[in-house]
A = this chain, B = another copy of it.
Amino acid sequence: MPLLAFGSADDEPCLRADAARNRARLLEAAACLVREQGAANLTMEAVAAAASVGKGTVFRRFGDRTGLLTALLDHSEKKFQAAFMSGPPPLGPGAGPVERLGAFGVALLRRTGDELELQLAAEPHPERRFSAAPRRVLHGHVVLLLRQAVPAADCELLAQTLMGYLSPVLVHHLTRQCGMPLERLEAGWLDLVARVTRTDFCC
């Protein structure tokens, strides 16, 4: 019963030395291939070959294509999570929930705008689309903010609605296929947040 040391630095622990080395080589090779020929054209076999590794190894380590792409996005993901969970306001704690919600969407839109290729290619299969870890974290955060802003509403559903607006496929469609500038999406987001969180039934 071997006891393995913790992972060298950043991610999940307990990988054997050779496994960790291969993992790193695979990620590097994948990133390189994505740079060269785009994420959409990335094939698992090419990654394996570029890393001088068997195809099976890729799948054992990352599960499937989506898993590999997601791993490529992991760094940016973690950074973003840190920003809205413990960073400075208005994104992080310290501002009001509605203001944070606005900042959250704008920041996420910009990040998605940058990594669009990867984000699109990394979209999980329908069954996992809402249960994938990164999505759950973002969703949970939105729920949290909504509960503060509009406690009376069905925040689960509202959060799903808002998250839908920020989904990579929609951003891709609106910016690339419809030619909208990202600024319009940002304005749309702020307006949406304002409408959704309007709690008063005055008049």
Binding site for B on A (CB under 8 A): 120, 123, 126, 129-131, 153-154, 157-158, 160-161, 164-165, 167, 169-170, 172-174, 177, 184-185, 187-188, 191-192, 195-196, 198, 200, 202-203
Contact = CB atoms under 8 A, between A and B. Distances in A.
B160 A165 contact: yes
B157 A185 contact: yes
A195 B198 CA distance: 7
Contacts of A172: 126
Copies of this chain in the oligomer = 2
Most B Cβ at <10 Å: residue of A165, A188, A195: A195
Contacts of A191: 153-154, 157
A173 B165 CA distance: 17
Given A120-B126, A157-B165, A161-B192, 13 more contacts: A126-B172, A129-B173, A130-B169, A131-B173, A154-B187, A154-B188, A154-B191, A160-B170, A161-B161, A164-B167, A196-B196, A198-B198, A202-B203
A200 to B, nearest CB: 6
B184 A157 contact: yes
A129 B174 CA distance: 12
Contacts of A187: 154
Given A154-B187, A203-B203, A126 B165 contact: no
A108 to B, nearest CB: 15
A124 to B, nearest CB: 10
Nearest to A163: B164
21 contacts: A120-B126, A123-B126, A126-B169, A126-B172, A130-B173, A130-B177, A153-B191, A157-B174, A157-B184, A157-B185, A157-B188, A157-B192, A160-B165, A160-B170, A160-B174, A161-B164, A164-B167, A195-B196, A195-B198, A196-B196, A202-B202
